[in-house]
Amino acid sequence: MFERTGLGEDEWVQRAATKPRIYPTSAVIADGLVRGEVGVAPVIYTIVAPKKRDGAPLGFVFPPEGVPIYSFAAGIPKTAQRPAAARLYLDWCLSEEGQALLIDRLGHLTALKVIPTRTTGYDLADVRMWSSVRAESDWLRAPGLSDWAKAYGVRQ
């Protein structure tokens, strides 16, 4: 949806004309990057950041157009056996220290206003993050999947 709304409806057709190889998942293409089988690829940042941290010969850029992000939530169920311990853990995860570790070790991005950057070597404040609007996403999903498959010549 980011490509379709942020880069233009003809983006897929233009890119498909270059005959790129289609991979089933970002994990597979990231492994191809590490092995040197792939030179450049759009991959999920949280997959390549830990590989780079561990010494893989990778570099990455955040394009000026922005990057799509997804949110996830955490909480404590009513049935938690140790809700106080869970609360302490969540408090730590949302602290500057916890966010710094999640950024540095796992490649997460953060929603904190002050972004901790300790060992990452880049400034996340410069990354333009894009998030979908649910109603628009629902409306564009079926035609978007169909148009993508048609542009790249794949079956759904």
DSSP bridge pairs for 129: 67
pLDDT attached to residue 91: 94
- If you average pLDDT over every residue of the chain, what do you get? 83
Cα–Cα dist 20/110, whole Å: 32
Instruction: Provide the whole-model pTM.
Output: 0.66
Sign of CA dihedral 109, 125, 92, 60: positive
Residues 6+ apart with CB under 8 A from 105: 50, 53
pLDDT attached to residue 80: 95
Q: Tens digits of per-residue pLDDT, 103-124?
A: 877 777 777 777 776 555 556 6
Q: How many CB atoms lie within 10 A of CB 113?
A: 6
pLDDT attached to residue 156: 66
- Kindly tell me the burial class for residue 109, based on how many C-beta atoms sit within 10 Å of its own C-beta (0-12, 13-18, 19 or more): buried
Cα–Cα dist 85/91, whole Å: 10
Burial 122-142 (b: 16+ CB within 10 A, else e): eebeebeeeebeeeeeeebee
The candidate with the shortest Cα–Cα distance to 154, out of 44, 146, 141, is 146
Can you give the three-state secondary structure of 36-50, one letter per residue? Answer: CCCCCCCCCHHHHHH
pLDDT attached to residue 90: 93
Residues 6+ apart with CB under 8 A from 21: 38
DSSP bridge pairs for 67: 129
- Give the mean pLDDT of 81-90: 96
pLDDT attached to residue 120: 54
- Give the mean pLDDT of 47-64: 85
